[in-house]
Structure 1
Amino acid sequence: MKTQTKRMAKIGLCIGIALMLLSMVVASAVQTSGGRVSVKSLSLETDAGYVMTAYLFIPDTATAETPAPGIVTSHGYLNNKEMQDANFVELSRRGFVVLAIDQPCHGNSEVMSVNSASGVYQGALALSRMPFVDVTRIGVTGHSMGGMSTNAAVASDNASGAPFISAVLLNNADPTYQDGDGNFANIYGSRDVGVVSAQYDEFFHQWIDDEGNRHEAPDYLEWENAQSFLNFGADPAEGLEQREADTVYTDTVDGEECIRVIYRPHIIHPWSHFSYQATVGVIDFFTRTLDAPNPIPATNQVWQWKEAFNFVGVIGLCLFVINFIILLTKTPVFADVGSAEPVAPTKVADGKGKIWFWGSLAAGALFSMLIYRRILAFGTSLPVSQTESMGLGLWSFLCGLFSIVSMLVYYHTYGKKHGMDLAARGVKISLKKLLKTIILAVIVVVVAYSCVFFAEYFFKVDFRLWTLAIKTFNPDMLGQAVLYGGLFMTFYVASSVSANAFNYNDIGGRHSWVNAIIVALFTTLPALILPWIQYIHYFTTDLMLWPASNMHILWLFPIVLILFGTTLISRAVYKATNNPYLAGIVNGCIITLMTVTNTCTTLV
């Protein structure tokens, strides 16, 4: 059986490596349009005095002799440049030079004491100085906070004395409707301006009417500010033509014809990163306004293939981690970290045992769900360098403590009386074995992230799905990982011990994978139920149930996959090693690194 386990682990490791390589090759081929677009990783010393990192996409048709229009794309708060892949893939394949930036304090850009809004303008300045970019055709676009940075770019461009930005697309962000005196105005002048406005945006297009009623994004076109924008800054009090979404309106401003348009994809705010409809709006707008050198219909999109194969990389990395761990435990150095034979599920002794199983799972899920909003509100209010990491870390820590208490109560009130052997299940562990477990886990994490750095260095891609991302990082992020790592580690180690040493049993039938799915689903339930409640209410009433928790609820989207996936990873490793700590430590390290490298970091 030991030989069989080792052979299967070798096969799994090879499959994982093959999937990661396939992910890198295909994702790179898509984002380079089969080699017709070159991708460069830049580190820019900006005029504002900080270093900003970016990806630069240069179509082979963009040269000093035939300069092409250029576009700056920006992510939103707590994201990074890779989140703009739908935009940079589709725009670059249409002949635009695209600069996808990491906003200050995000991605690999410089960390500062204040989250500056100047990133888009600094990116536009950089584009304007490139010899293969047509300075008369420069556009800017940003999602959410990136849209706010885009508005700031327009203000800086207006104040520069030599404005050069000609097209502005705000993606799930409000335009500037009024001037400094509070009067309705066209602050964009003769620029072409558009808005991609999600019909169910959770953060923008909100107002209180004269009767005190709250309105949110579904009512956006009824708002006088939206109508003023579509009427080129005219005062709604003068009686305006009621204008509609997805219609391009033209007017002449300062002797130049320009457009205003609001696209209304039927999506929520963060889905704009991952939306065919939203990407149609982006392509249509810049094709119209900047004259695409290689016009392709907006409905012809290939970025989804990049996203799909980015996720293939995630799957490959997970398979690599599982099987690399197992193989290391079969080496002489780490042989005593694992077991010689696979672990079989324990038998539940009686009906009380079943009640403990289902009750403890339900109690853990309920506790996690009930504390989430309050803990996140508290954690993100603290004066720390990464408020998201602190909020999620505190929640993880408390859920881990609850799991530990639950296991102790179970053992002393039921398990011990029914012959539960903590040593046989791997819970009781010697100090030497624990230290070797930690060393093995660190080796696995280092090698796993070497694959991520390899993907970025040679192919300019990472492993991700939507907002779930495993990406490279600067060395200073290791300090952040140490700062918050203990909070996450408490949960992932406790979760692994609970899911395996305590809950790996014959409940679920003769197929052990059924038990694994049950445990994984209960672990994931809080991250599923809270968004269901929030969005069912939003879609049925046009109002958010917990508007103050909008951001915190959105953070649960990637956590669904994280909680489900890490539970299955820990089960696979435990079955082969009888060591419940090993996968828990690996999971805790990787999730900590994922969290601290996909957020905003400020100097405190």
Structure 2
Amino acid sequence: MGEIAVDKRSRFGGLFKTSKGKWKLLGLIVLIIVVSSFIAMCLSTDFGKVNVKDIRFDAEGAILDATLYTPLGVNANDKLPAVVIAHGSGVSHGVMAGTAEELARRGFVVLNVSAYGSGSSENSDTVESGKRGGFDTPQGVYDAVLYLRTLKYVDQTRIGITGHSMGGRRITAAAVLDGSYLSLNDMMINTLHDTFGQQFTKDEINIDADMLAKQRLSEDQLPWYNQLKKESEDYLSVRIKGVLNLGDATTDFFAPRKVTVGGHEVIRTPQVNGGFLIGIYNEGTAGPAIKNESSDKLREIYQTGDTNIVRDIWYQIHPYTSDATPSSEKIGNVWETSVLSSQALADAINNRSARIFFAPADHHSQDFLSPEATSDVVKFFEQTMSYNNGELTDKNTVPLDSKNSIFLLREILNGIAMIALILALIALASILLDTAFFKACKLNVAEPVCEKRSKPFWIISAIIFAFSCWAIAWVGSNGLKFRFTSTFFSLDFTVNIIIAYLIFVAAASLIVLAAYKLISGKKAEIKYLETFNIRMKFGTFAKTLLLSYILFLAAYISMSILKFMFNEDYRFWMAVMTKMNPQNFMLMLRYGLVIFPTFLLSGIIINFGRMKDMSEGKNTALNVILACLPVYLVAIVSYGVMYLGANNYTPLYAFVTTWTLLITIPLTAYISRKMYKFTGSIWLGTFLNTFLVTWMFCSSLSSSELYLIGNFFTKWLGIG
């Protein structure tokens, strides 16, 4: 039996060394991509119950890119609740797909939109508020709300908005544009004052306006007043009904502010149901949940006085009748209280005075990957819109439990497809390198010189490991120092944090490699130019560059096919390879100028440690682990401390925008190693990694601070 097993393994291993075997391997990998993407599509559409389609519309002289989710068979006679979803900084709308899918599974119309300048949305010169970019502008969220108002099947009285992080600030900016701090009674007091010339004392403005109208207006004026009241009722009924801010509590939207009623300056709160979702371990600007529950700002918003806000509790706030903050009332726990069982909750929601505070056990960038956070969002809109696969008041409605979620499996399948893509590119490279045209790119692979006990290898590895740990910790603590952009490098500052880490590690690699050369002198066993074939003929170099671009195009075309067939792409969490606007291909080249040298140096380091007394597979695994270990170790230590409740529930070093490194570093390290094995040179791996990582950046990140489509030079060349 032993001999048969060995023979099978031998024949199996030999199969993939042949041209036919390589094609079979490529076919198998492509099949994995197709099957995983198909199943992902089934999940994202709830097995055909939801229509999911990408849409593009122009509202401000620039295209907004979004995904629209509607129930299967929807028509103009339907009146369905709808929700606009906004992503945060440094990402695009695809990261919020899980939240969108779970709402859509429950019959909501959902518009998941990329902000102006994010992903495939174009930059707008000015946005809805008349400003460009910034922290407190809607960046397309309000335009998305206005788009929903053009859809006949959307119930205009039940539109909600939710957004994560920067998206939380954008939705509140949109709510300010759309909503009102005036109640219906306030509006009618103003009508009596402004239209009918009535004067009021400060106490009188809190009296029922209808009663005052009957007392003060003539019989001829009352019909006019009633008509104006009807118009005010209609106006208020179609204002945004629910606003849930995810991962950010820095906005002032929910806070009381001064307005004018009946000629007097008074304090009012926004006429909208709303609240915050702040993770227990949130390391964003807002800080962890425990910090916000006790903050004076949120206590004022929730009207709890000197008492901390209680998680998962519905509150009913009350209108101000003086400058003193009124006291809210607790209605009940969100998981135990429903609009069907509590008239108080139903009344609070109808009066737009319901508030809630969610605190899922997750960190900032986990909010859109967390089933717990997603179930909180679903529960909020289920209650504020009184809907879950039908009207909650309809006895025939069978709601889907808000804690029932499947989006994470879809996300995992997209991640499997992305990993399979990398393997497919490696297989395709091997096939193309066997062709007559690209065979010149296959140079002699230098014999390994390191051994398991080689001191230079372990010393270099230890130095780079230590420096990499410092680098990821430093950028995690100083990320906001990279808040700068330019038309040439136009992506928002979040990408600068990742690039800074790559540059720091590359600089350390350069210093260590130079020191090794100086110390070893002519005795150095590894000669960089020869060992890694850095020096080669121009024709070979050009063909290597062409091959890497062909591989990138193959990857992009495969993504386009997946988009066309299944409306899926390559992604997991914050690592995304998706569609791009044409000008972003030029933006890739500009960022490639910075990223290319970092992958050139990392390619040397990754392949420096090839060992003659270790199998190729084990050695590849060792070097890939060494490449990504610093990031993983710092993340585990930083967040492990946080999860233990130490350091005030915050990590030692925040990863917020750098989680993508946990995915990109091992993948690019593996590519670098395999391409060197195929070609005997680090160039192919360097070029391909540069193309893939800049694709990640330019397809999914944002340039929301700048207006780039005003002329040819800024749009295509980043000049001006």
TM-score by length of 2: 0.74
CA distance in 2 between partners of 1:478 and 1:392 (Å): 20
From the superposition, tell whether residues 101 and 3 of structure 1 become closer, same or farther in structure 2 (CA, over 3 Å): closer
Q: CA deviation at 1:523?
A: 1.8
Deviation of the 1:296 alpha carbon? 0.7
1:581 to 672, 683, 686: 683
How far did 1:72 drift?
0.9
1:55 maps to 2:67 = yes
2:55 and 2:420 mapped to 1: Cα distance? 28
Q: Which residue of 2 aligns with 1:202?
A: 283
CA distance in structure 1 between the aligned counterparts of 2:505 and 2:291, rounded to whole angstroms: 39
Contact 2:16/2:22, CA 8 A, preserved across alignment: no
Question: 2:545 is matched with which residue?
Answer: 438
> What is residue 211 of structure 1 aligned with on the other side?
none
CA contact (8 A) 2:317 2:353 kept: no
Q: In the alignment, what sits opposite 1:67?
A: 79
Which residue among 700, 703, 706 is the counterpart of 1:598?
700
CA contact (8 A) 2:281 2:362 kept: yes
1:257, distance to aligned residue in structure 2 (A): 6.8
Q: CA deviation at 1:370?
A: 3.0
Larger radius of gyration: 2
Provide, for residues 132-184 of structure 1, a one-character-per-residue CA deviation record: whole Å limited to 9, x for no partner.
11112211111111111221122111259734212222222226342344999
Q: 1:118-267 residue pairs with structure 2 within 5 A?
A: 118-158=139-179, 162-163=235-236, 164=238, 165-174=240-249, 176-181=253-258, 187-189=269-271, 191-206=272-287, 216-227=288-299, 228-229=301-302, 230-232=315-317, 250=345, 252=347, 256=351, 259-267=354-362
**Residues 512 and 110 from structure 1, CA distance in 2 versus in 1: closer, same or farther, beyond 3 angstroms?**
same
In the alignment, the residues of structure 2 paired with residue 580 and residue 7 of structure 1 have an alpha-carbon distance, to the nearest angstrom, of 26
Match in the other structure for 1:515: 619
> SS at the partner of 1:554?
coil
| Aligned residue number for residue 337 of structure 1 | 441
- Counterpart AA for 1:217: A
Report if the CA contact (8 A) 2:171-2:243 is conserved: yes
Corresponding letter in the other structure for 2:696? M
State the alpha-carbon separation in 2 of the partners of residues 413 and 350 from structure 1.
Answer: 21
Q: State the Cα deviation string for residues 351-394 of structure 1 (Å, max 9, x = none).
A: 5xx22101111212323343453685554345452233344334
Aligned residues of 1:141 and 1:147 also touching (Cα < 8 A): yes
Could you say what secondary structure the match of 1:57 adopts?
A: strand
**2:273 and 2:384 in contact (8 A); partners too:** yes
AA at the equivalent of 1:600: S
1:429 to 516, 522, 536: 536
For residue 505 of structure 1, what is the amino acid of its counterpart? M
Where do 5+ consecutive residues of structure 1 fail to align?
207-215
Report the equivalent of 2:415. 311
Residues 523 and 184 (structure 1), Cα distance of their counterparts in 2 relative to 1, 3 Å cut: farther
Deviation at 1:240, TM superposition (A): 6.1
How many angstroms apart in 2 are the aligned matches of 1:179 and 1:489? 51
Alpha carbons of 1:519 and 1:244: their partners in 2 closer, same or farther (altered >3 Å)? farther
The amino acid across from 1:504 in the alignment is: R
Report the 3-state secondary structure (helix = DSSP H, G, I; strand = E; otherwise coil) of the residue aligned with 1:292: coil
Task: State how far apart, in whole Å, the 2-side matches of 1:566 and 1:519 are.
Answer: 12
Deviation at 1:600, TM superposition (A): 1.9
2:110 to 74, 77, 98: 98
Question: Cα distance 1:241–1:583, how it changes in 2: closer, same or farther (>3 A)?
Answer: same
Distance 1:223 1:564 in 2: 41
Q: If the length of structure 1 is used for normalisation, what is the TM-score? A: 0.88
* Mapped partners of 1:186, 1:321: distance in 2: 59
Tell whether 2:502 aligns with 1:396. Answer: yes
Q: Which residue of 2 aligns with 1:460?
A: 567
What is the identity, as a one-letter code, of the residue corresponding to 1:57? Y
The answer on whether the counterparts of 1:527 and 1:556 sit within 8 Å (CA) in structure 2 is no
User: Matched residue of 1:439: which SS?
Assistant: helix
Which region of structure 1 is more displaced relative to structure 2, 237-246 or 386-395?
Answer: 237-246
User: What is the rounded CA distance, in whole Å, between the counterparts of 2:670 and 2:693 in structure 1?
Assistant: 15
Q: Do structure 1's residue 292 and structure 2's residue 388 form an aligned pair? A: yes
Counterpart amino acid of residue 378 in structure 2: I
Instruction: Quote how far apart the aligned CAs of 1:119 are.
Output: 2.1
1:555 aligns with 2:657: yes
SS in structure 2 of the partner of residue 461 of structure 1: coil
**What is the match of residue 37 of structure 1?**
50
One-letter amino acid of the structure 2 residue matched with residue 370 of structure 1: W
Contact 2:282 2:650 in 1 (8 A): no
Judge which range, 92-101 or 145-154, deviates more: 145-154
Contact kept in structure 2, 1:74 and 1:81, CA below 8 Å = yes
Q: Tell me if structure 2 keeps the 8 A contact 1:481–1:596.
A: yes
CA deviation map 1:477-516 (0-9, x unaligned)? 122212211111111122123212x22114xx63332222
Number of aligned residue pairs: give it. Answer: 582
SS at match of 1:135: strand
User: CA offsets per residue over residues 59-87 of structure 1, 9 Å max, x none?
Assistant: 12432122221111111111111111111
> What letter is aligned with 2:24?
I
Q: Give 2:456's aligned residue.
A: 356
* CA displacement 1:95-120 (0-9 Å, x = unmatched): 11111101111111121463242422
Identity in percent: 22
**In structure 1, how many angstroms separate the alpha carbons of the residues matched to 2:499 and 2:563?**
27
1:346 is matched with which residue? 448
**Contact 1:177–1:186 at 8 Å: present in 2 too?**
no
Q: Tell me, yes or no, if structure 1 residue 487 matches structure 2 residue 594.
A: yes
Structure 2 equivalent of residue 210 of structure 1: none
CA contact under 8 A between 2:449 and 2:611: conserved in structure 1?
A: yes
2:241 aligned counterpart, secondary structure: strand
Q: Match for residue 15 of structure 1? A: 28
In structure 2, the partner of 1:26 is 39
In the superposition, relative to structure 1, how do residues 429 and 3 fare at CA in structure 2: closer, same or farther (>3 Å)?
farther
Taking the aligned partners of 1:72 and 1:595, their CA distance within structure 2 comes to 24
Q: In the TM superposition, what whole-angstrom CA distance separates every residue of 1:258-303 from its partner, at most 9, and x where no partner exists?
A: 5322222111011011111011111212222221235211122111
Kept in 2, the 8 Å contact 1:250–1:257? The answer is no
Q: How far, CA to CA, are the matches of 2:520 and 2:361 in structure 1?
A: 52
Are 1:406 and 2:512 matched, yes or no? yes
Q: Do the aligned partners of 1:245 and 1:264 also contact (CA within 8 Å) in 2?
A: no
Shift of 1:304: 1.8
Q: Deviations for 1:166-219, whole angstroms, at most 9, x for unmatched residues?
A: 222222222634234499966332x3323222111122545xxxxxxxxx4323
What corresponds to 1:82 in structure 2?
A: 94
Give the distance between the partners of 2:351 and 2:497, measured in 1 at CA.
49
Q: Secondary structure at the match of 1:4?
A: coil
- Deviations 1:11-60 (Å, cap 9, x if unpaired)? 331122112211321111111122222222211122x4442111111112
* RMSD (CA atoms): 3.1
CA pair 504-427 structure 1, distance change in 2 beyond 3 A: farther
- Of residues 502, 509, 527 in structure 1, which corresponds to 2:631? 527
Change (3 A) 1:379 1:87: closer
Pair 1:322-2:426 in alignment: yes
Alpha carbons of 1:376 and 1:492: their partners in 2 closer, same or farther (altered >3 Å)? farther
Q: How far apart are residue 7 of structure 1 and its match?
A: 4.2
